[in-house]
Amino acid sequence: MNLKEIIRSALIFLHIDLTKNLEYDRLTNVIMKRVILKRSNCIDIGCHKGEILHSILKYAPEGSHIAFEPIPDLYRQLVRKFDGKATVYPYALSDRSGETVFQYVKNAPAYSGINRRKYNVAHPDIEEINVELRTLDELIPTERQVDFIKIDVEGAEFGVLKGAASLLKRWKPVVIFECGMGASDYYGTDPAELYHFLEDCGLKIYTLKSFLNGANALSGSEFTECYRSNCEYYFIASRS
């Protein structure tokens, strides 16, 4: 862990939200601690360096866990780090299978994704790599229960969800996902369509804070407003 990661972890532990992303990281951890049980089965999509997967293993030591990370160097690091603890795949996920060009932002890997988008770095160093594209519904056996999913794929979240429609309807897992302007719009995401898709799967959408506070789920118009204004861009989908 480098100095930047140590400082970030300390700020989260101390509940010091210097940025919106730090707040989301802290709230995500609180939610995981609440909803993930000892034997929960979890999926981490966009695993990156494995911070969320590490927490998943802490909260669900008896569960069976899967992670996805298509960037080759990060994938190899995750395989070494979580050998015997979780299954890691080098796939990008979507609503179709095949092969796709993937935008690897070498000087800011967390921004990497299938499509090019806005990057909060002055001079993004982008290398186009070919990665295998799969869907969750074809990879996860129908009898395997799924209790929690985290999706952070820089705007491609709706494609991932559509590729998991059967899984979502069958198990109704808790899903934490990113969705907002500046990323999701580069994939043509329609917030109303996403809202109704999850509704059809039996899931309601909440902001992270409203879920933790026991508040009502968002209406379709409220979710669309959050998406358009970017006042919130991390959400949780849950059956209640």
Give the number of domains in the chain: 1
- Residue 16: what pLDDT? 44
Round to whole Å and give the CA distance between 70 and 112: 10
In-domain check, residue 68: yes
- Nearest residue to 13 via CA among 29, 32, 34: 29
Identify the three-state secondary structure at position 41. coil
Q: Which pLDDT belongs to residue 20?
A: 87
134 in any annotated domain = no
Residue 62 is assigned to a structural domain of this protein: yes
Task: Specify the pLDDT at position 120.
Answer: 85
Q: Within a domain: residue 23? A: yes
Confidence of residue 8 (pLDDT cuts 50, 70, 90): very low
Residue 149 in tokens:
């999913």
Q: For residue 106, is it within any domain?
A: no
Residue 3 lies inside a defined structural domain of this protein: no
**Please, what is the Cα angle at 44 between 38 and 233, to 5 degrees?**
110
In a domain, 54, yes or no: yes
Question: CA–CA distance from 220 to each of 2, 133, 150, 182 (Å)?
Answer: 41, 30, 21, 20
- Note the Cα 46 to chain centre separation in Å: 6
Q: Is the pLDDT of residue 239 over 90?
A: yes
125 is a domain residue: no
Return the pLDDT at 81: 97
How many other CB atoms are there within 10 angstroms of residue 27's CB atom?
Answer: 20
Residue 5 has pLDDT above 50, yes or no: no
**3-class SS of residue 109:** helix
- Cα–Cα distance measured from residue 53 to residue 220, given in angstroms and rounded to the nearest whole number: 31
Collapse the DSSP code of 184 into the 3-class scheme (helix H, G, I; strand E, B; otherwise coil) and give the result: helix
Domain CATH code at residue 172: 3.40.50.150
44-85 pLDDT per residue, tens? 999 999 999 999 999 999 999 999 999 999 999 999 999 999
Segments forming the whole domain that contains residue 159: 17-89+144-238
| Residues paired with residue 113 on neighbouring β-strands, in sequence order | 103
92-133 tens-digit pLDDT: 999 999 999 999 999 999 999 999 998 888 899 999 999 999
